[in-house]
Amino acid sequence: MTKTVNGIEVDVEKANRLLIWLVERESENLRSREKNDTEMAKFIAKRIEEEVQCL
Amino acid sequence: MAGKNSGLFQKEYSFRGGHAEHVQALTSKFGSRNSQLFNRNLDVYMIAPLVGFCYQRRGNPDLTPNGETTKIFPEQLIKESQTLWFIYRLILLLDKKHERDFETRVHKAFRNYGKPEAEEDEMLFDSYVLGGVELLYEKLLENGHSEEDYINNLYDFLSDFSERYYSTLSADDIQETVIKLAKTGRTTSRNSRV
Amino acid sequence: MLIKSVKVYNFRQFKGEQSLDFATDAKNNVTIVMGPNGSGKTALAQAFKWCLYGETDLGDKSVFCKAVELEMLQNTKESCHVQIVLEHKGAPYTIRRTMRVRKEYGGRLKEDPPELSVASKTPDGQTKSIPTPELRIREILPKDLSRYFFFDGERIEKMRGEIGKGKSKEFPAAVRSLLGLDAMKVAIDHLNKVIRRYDESCDPHSDARMHGYARRISELNTRIDQISQRLDKLGAEMETADNRCIELRQRILENKASEELAQQKARLEKLRNDLIKQRDGAVAQMLEIFNKDALDFFAAPWMQDAMKTLKKADKLDKGIPDIHARTLDYLLKRGVCLCGCSLEKDSEAWETIEKIRDFIPPKSIGTLLDNFSDECALRAKNASGFFGQMEHHYGIVRDHAKNYGENEEAIKELVEKLRGREDVGHLQADLSRLEQHLSSLRNERELLIREQGSKETELQRLETERRDLALKDKSNRRIETFKAYAQAMRDSLNGTYSKKEAEIRNDLAKTVDSIFRRIYKGGFSLALDENYNIAINVTDVEGWRGDTEVETSTAQGISVCFAFIAGVIELARRNKGDSGLTSEVYPLVMDAPLSAFDKTRIRAVCEELPCVAGQVIIFIKDTDGDLAEEHLGRKVGRRYTFDKKTEFETLLREGR
């Protein structure tokens, strides 16, 4: 299933999977305080890019 | 079953340069009990193309002179050739980017293998092997220094793969799941990581 | 959680040791503490906060009794402490915070950092010291929720003032505490950061204006990142210094060697070896399974695809039916085809016949495809158990890593303890040095936060301008795709968070309103809109009998405070798991400016309070004593009076 955001087609299942992964990681990071905000943003961007490119 | 002319999966295979270093690292022993992530070069060679295909990573052979090399002997390849051809077929049957037409893909997978016409297909397969080697190194070894790191990386990698390809989630579940996770975090054993 | 007693020693106006035992009986659960203004009611209320969290809201941060300080000779030592005995989930706890002081030559008072100890009793009556006191207190009552159970007069006054202007910060703060969805909030912030980053990246060969924006945005981001990194580092340094301070204090306390400790250590060392063995076993299992079955695991999703795909293959050309390779062998050997043509070796006819081999059994594609499908099915079956097994063994590895870590910590602690007496003076010197360092770090942080604020404002302005430009540039399509995903995720989370926030806000508004109506016997109601603006409406003009304008708004404001406190407590209890509360009943410790009300209102408030909390400890002016007795009398279990002897000294007496 896809939906359109800003003129781009987004695969909803992929976006949902990413959401779940994100909230899990954020919960864990709040506990461990391993990454700061900048590192988390980089980490999240990398994951989005990888997931989008995967089949 | 092996092709008459190309020698794929029949001749000695060499990893070169950076890839050879990665494969050596992936098969090296670590920890107090001499554990290994991959027992043999051949084990890397079998998993790498699938992983390269999944992540759409293709690599080029590293031909810098005086680089490292590490090999797989022909006897080993021939012994596992049934499995290797299986993997080869799987990839060629499903790679729509490489070949759009379904019938042509079937031919590539089941008829042309091993023949001179298959040269570009064999190059595709090899590029997935090399891309897969790079990815396995990145995911399993790059950010790790100890046995604990490698095991954690291995689990994370398998877990990502499992979540991506083995689970299904409907749209209704999403809101509830996300709220639950925000409060409690993950329920698997990853929670207890210090 | 119920408070049984509080003991203060040389704390603020309370010279020497003075104690209060609180009413904890279910029916008579109110304790009244009465005294004139300035006698120390607020100080006593703050004693709870100081004991539990090491902080006060008092303007003068020094908690040591001034009367005692005046009497001290130079170069002498004294101390002050607050001890709370409470009951939580059936177990008794004794929490004690002690601060030692020394009067130096020259008359200055030097204060040591306060030391915290928490002790509990095991079911068989043994006293047990809790090694992580701050953590245990957080479990019993987390600081950000404690502010709803300890409400002093100054804070009521401040909140009343805010309500008078139509909006109080206490409301949104309470909603956030009750929500407990920090992970979501922080995820939204990070996604916003990611989206901003994508806006920043652009092809430098395109429009010169884009390039200009990119450069300026990049410079700003670099500086903001620098500040952010420095702030993080500061935060970490401060936390390290803080932890080190706690550690130093702890060490100064525990200076005793003991034989029992040595025995404990030996036991733990044996446990350590067992843990290592178990873990190694699990790791070996994981790697064995991986090397055996990983291939099928990675291949399985593709095999599913392949099997689906191959169903289409039925339509493919499968060659000539009912001809086998043996038929061809026969024809080629005899040299004559079925049709009668001659078949000479290596002729065109010969080659054509050879080519047919690929299409007929045993090499027909039909057979190959069937074999392939079968192999896929077999391997897929093999793959299904793989990840479950890996998870199982990994779970063992993780559990043991945690247990191992805790065990090592415990061993380390024991080693430290067994090291014997240490030079306490040396430790004290380290402690003071660290505290000075902490103070200068705090200053630096203030300055940086301000700079960060102004740079971020400018950045947002530039990014908005650039974003509008970027959408028109085709070469940014790939980046736009990533950005679209990040935006979809952020919008989804925002929606969920806002929805939940609105739910809790409405719940709180409804609860506070119903309590407010009970206080005003239906004459007034309270509404809270989505921006947390407060509106008090008259519902029954006839029923309202007020005295003066001034009393009305002040009393109303305070009634809103009471209704708010009661409402938050009720919601926190209802959403137990989410908000961090683990107990059934909680005490309410508050200042009550009863004389601001008229008689009807006082009765209504006094009727509500004991229903809301399991235990009420209420501080009132002595002039309100009669009022309190009249309306709370039946529920009062204990009474105390503050006897103000001098500016600096107050005595607590039981009774009226």
pLDDT band at C555 (very low <50, low <70, confident <90, very high): confident
Touching C: which chains, 3+ CB pairs < 8 A?
A, B
Domain termination residue (choose one: C448, C472, C496)? C472
Identify the band that residue C257 occupies on the pLDDT scale cut at 50, 70 and 90.
Answer: very low
Which band of pLDDT confidence, cut at 50, 70 and 90, is reported for residue A2? confident
pTM over 0.80: no
CA A52 to CA C272: how far, in whole Å? Answer: 45
State the smallest CA–CA distance between residue A47 and chain C in angstroms. Answer: 10
The confidence score (pLDDT) of residue B176 equals 79
pLDDT digit string (tens) for C440-468? 898 898 889 888 888 888 888 887 777 66
Judged by CB atoms closer than 8 Å, whether chains meet at C306 and B90 is answered as yes
Q: What is the pLDDT of residue C582?
A: 59
Greater confidence (C261 vs B91) lies with B91
Residue range of the domain that includes A20:
2-53
Quote the mean pLDDT of chain C.
81
Tell me if C237 is assigned to some domain. yes
Task: Provide the pLDDT confidence category of residue C223 given band limits of 50, 70 and 90.
Answer: very high
C574 against C87, higher pLDDT:
C87
Closest Cβ–Cβ partner in B56, B182, B186 for A53: B56
Q: Would you tell me the crossing angle of helices A12-32 and A37-53 to the nearest 10 degrees?
A: 150
The domain spanning residue C240 has which CATH number?
A: 1.10.287
**Euclidean distance between CA atoms C273 and C279, whole angstroms:** 10
**Do the domain assignments include residue C217?**
yes
Reported ipTM: 0.95
> Does residue B192 have a pLDDT over 50?
no
Specify burial of residue C495 (Cβ count, 10 A radius: 0-12, 13-18, 19+): exposed
Residues C281, C249 share a domain? no
In which band, very low, low, confident or very high, does the pLDDT at C253 lie, cut at 50, 70 and 90?
low
Judged against a pLDDT cut of 90, whether residue C647 lies above it is answered with no
What pLDDT, on a 0 to 100 scale, did the predictor assign at position C205?
A: 52
Pairwise CA distance, residues C3 & C616, whole Å: 10
| CA distance linking residue A27 with residue A43, whole number of Å | 15
pLDDT given for residue C546 in this prediction: 46
**pLDDT tops 70 at residue B184:** no
- Answer whether residue B2 shows pLDDT above 60: no
The predicted-structure confidence for C556-567, as pLDDT tens digits, reads as follows: 777 888 888 888
Write the pLDDT tens digit of every residue in C501-522.
888 888 888 888 888 888 877 6
Chain A residue nearest residue C189, CA to CA: A37
Cβ distance of C298 and B47 shorter than 8 Å: yes
Same domain, C377 and C463: no
Q: Render pLDDT for C391-439 as a digit per residue (tens, 0 to 9).
A: 999 999 988 888 888 888 888 888 877 765 445 557 777 888 888 898 8
Chain B segment 135-154 residues within 8 A of C by beta carbon are 147-148, 151, 154
State the pLDDT confidence band at B194, using cuts at 50, 70 and 90: very low
Residue C656 to residue C646: CA distance in whole angstroms:
20
- pLDDT exceeding 90 applies to what percent of chain C? 16
Residue C537 belongs to some domain of the structure: no
Q: Is the pLDDT of residue C356 over 90?
A: no
Nearest to C399 among B31, B185, B189 (CB): B189
Count of CB pairs separated by less than 8 Å, A with B: 48
* Enclosing domain of residue B35: 13-142
Mean pLDDT score, B50-70: 91
Per the structure, the count of domains in chain C is: 2
Q: Is any Cβ of chain B less than 8 angstroms from the Cβ of A13?
A: yes
Q: What is the model's pLDDT at position C623?
A: 77
Q: For the residues of C270-297, what is the DSSP string, one character each?
A: HHHHHHHHHHHHHHHHHHHHHHHHHHHH
Chain B residue closest in CA terms to C384? B166
| Choice between C317 and B109, residue whose per-residue pLDDT is larger | B109
pLDDT at C91 over 60: yes
Question: Number of CB pairs < 8 Å for A and C?
Answer: 84
Residue B62, C-beta contacts closer than 8 angstroms, at least 6 positions apart = B16, B17, B18, B19, B20
Q: Write out pLDDT tens, residues C523-544.
A: 778 888 878 888 877 776 554 4
Residue C233 within any structural domain of the chain:
yes
Nearest beta carbon to residue A28 from set B53, B177, B185? B185
Q: What's the rounded mean pLDDT across residues B16-41? A: 90
Average pLDDT, stretch C354-368? 73
Question: How many other CB atoms are there within 10 angstroms of residue C626's CB atom?
Answer: 10
How many domains in chain A?
1
Contact at 8 Å (CB) between C8 and C44? yes
pLDDT at C490: 94
The confidence score (pLDDT) of residue C551 equals 40
Q: Best residue in C394, C578, C579 to probe B by mutation, most B CBs within 10 Å? A: C394
Comparison of pLDDT for C80 and C611, the residue scoring more: C80
Structure confidence by residue, pLDDT tens digits, C284-311: 999 999 999 999 999 988 888 888 877 7
Q: Could you tell me which residue, C548 or C105, shows the higher pLDDT?
A: C105
* Across C468-493, average pLDDT: 79
Q: Are C103 and C75 in contact (CB under 8 A)?
A: yes
pLDDT of residue C318: 59
CA distance B33 to C283: 10
Q: Tell whether C241 and C280 lie within a shared domain.
A: no
**B31 to chain C: which residues are within 8 Å by CB?**
283
More confident residue, C256 or C197: C197
DSSP label at residue C533:
B
Containing structural domain, residue C281 = 274-318+364-403
Q: Read off the pLDDT band of C630 (50, 70, 90).
A: confident
Our CA-based measurement puts residue B44 at a distance from the nearest CA of chain C, in whole angstroms, of 10
Contact (CB, 8 A) for A20 and B179: no
Does residue B64 form part of some domain?
yes
Residue C242 and residue C210 share a domain = yes
Number of domain units in chain B: 1
